[in-house]
Amino acid sequence: MPDFVFDDQGVEQQDSNDRAQGPGDSGPSGDEGRPSALHRWGVVVFVVVLLAGGLAGLGVYAQHWKRGVWVREVIISGNTLLQDSELLGFAGGLVDRNMESVDSAALERRFIAHPYIRAASVGKEMNGIIRVQVDERRPFARIVSEWMPGIIDTEGYVLPWRELPATAPPLIDVSGVRVRKSGAKAPVKVDPEEFAVLQSFLDALYGTEYARLMVRKITFIDGNKTYFTASGSPIRFLVGNDGNYKEKLKKFEIFWQKVVARKGFDAYDSVDLRFHERVFAREQNE
């Protein structure tokens, strides 16, 4: 008869292992105590579906809102040169129309057709308001010409002449400048080379202490003979087209204070400022 041996040491070892695992552990891997990957993905899918449903609901609501809202007011903003009353004419016929029937892109094109408007954006609001934000062109100089008076903007475009509001900055008069038109419907622009000269001259002028208060007009002449005149004086101050206007305007300020103020505003026919550190003055009747 075979002998049977009861190994109580193995039982004690098993009990020790069970106590070490603790009541929360189901086995070596502990998979039963963790949320399953399937459960986590289910939550993610639920949230995505919920968000998609919400967005779809908002889209449906927006469509119903557009069909049920009528335009009650058009508001213009961003304009400082143009009056609201003038610009509202470009939005004529919109009040009491269904909001959904208003073509925002077409309305923007209406406003951009105005020569003094560079860009426009249209927004529709839930309370029946259409808000038009305009970006006006910025006047830079004024063309003095019998055949084509106009306003030059900061990009070199020639805008139709119009009286600007008192709040607009004063403009320098310009004559003799060449203009170009690239097509039948294309806007008119100042010759690029002459516009670069004008920009350089005005940048230097606005950085001076006294000259910016006196210079009133610049006249473009071929052959590097461009000149300017000052307020109350017929003297032509030659500055040319070759730059270095900061130095030339400084010489003008010194000559005006030391010579013109003493001899008179009409004592000279012209003063040539084009040469480095030298000034050539030509008296009247020479």
Which domain CATH number covers 154? Answer: 3.40.50.11690
Q: Judge if 147 and 131 occupy the same domain.
A: no
Q: Judge if 244 and 109 occupy the same domain.
A: no
49 in a structural domain: no
Q: Judge if 151 and 130 occupy the same domain.
A: no
Burial class (CB in 10 A: 0-12, 13-18, 19+), 117: buried
Rounded distance, CA 206 to CA 204, Å? Answer: 6
Can you give the CATH number for the domain in which 75 is found? 3.10.20.310
Q: What is the DSSP track for 145-204?
A: -SS--EEEETTSBEEEP-PPPTTSPP-EEEES--EEESSSSSPEEE-HHHHHHHHHHHHH
Task: Give the range of the structural domain holding residue 118, as residue numbers without chain letter.
Answer: 70-136
Q: Which tokens go with 52?
A: 């998609």
Rounded distance, CA 258 to CA 260, Å? Answer: 6
Kind plus residue range of the DSSP H or E element containing 189: strand 188-190
Domain termination residue (choose one: 136, 162, 189): 136
41 in a structural domain: no
Q: Judge if 81 and 162 occupy the same domain.
A: no
Rounded distance, CA 182 to CA 191, Å? Answer: 11
Rounded distance, CA 208 to CA 249, Å? Answer: 8
Our count of domains for the chain comes to 2
Q: Judge if 145 and 265 occupy the same domain.
A: yes
31 in a structural domain: no
This prediction has a pTM of 0.71
Give the residue ranges of the chain where pLDDT is below 70.
1-39, 46, 53-54, 56-67, 182-185, 286
Q: Judge if 122 and 162 occupy the same domain.
A: no
Q: Judge if 274 and 196 occupy the same domain.
A: yes
Comparing C-alpha atoms, which of 230, 175, 225 is closest to residue 205? 230
- Amino acid letter, residue 6: F
Q: What is the pLDDT of residue 4?
A: 41
Q: Which tokens go with 271?
A: 């003063």
Q: Judge if 127 and 153 occupy the same domain.
A: no
CA 55 remoteness from chain centre: 33
Could you tell me which residues come within 8 angstroms of residue 204 by beta carbon, excluding any fewer than 6 positions away?
245, 246, 248, 249
Q: What is the pLDDT of residue 192?
A: 94
188 in a structural domain: yes
Q: Judge if 144 and 276 occupy the same domain.
A: yes
- Amino acid letter, residue 176: G
Across the beta sheet with 268-272, what order do the strands follow? 158-160, 150-153, 139-143, 172-175, 215-219, 227-230, 236-238, 268-272, 280-283
Q: Which tokens go with 5?
A: 């041996």
18 in a structural domain: no
171 in a structural domain: yes
Residue 157 has what DSSP assignment?
A: B
Comparing C-alpha atoms, which of 284, 282, 201, 268 is closest to residue 233? 268
Q: Judge if 104 and 190 occupy the same domain.
A: no
Q: What is the pLDDT of residue 149?
A: 87
Q: Judge if 76 and 165 occupy the same domain.
A: no
219 in a structural domain: yes
Q: Which tokens go with 105?
A: 């892109």
Domain termination residue (choose one: 80, 109, 136): 136
Rounded distance, CA 274 to CA 245, Å? Answer: 9
267 in a structural domain: yes
Rounded distance, CA 51 to CA 223, Å? Answer: 71
Kind plus residue range of the DSSP H or E element containing 246: helix 245-255
β-pair type (227-230, 236-238): antiparallel
Q: What is the pLDDT of residue 50?
A: 74
Domain termination residue (choose one: 136, 160, 186): 136
Q: Judge if 181 and 242 occupy the same domain.
A: yes
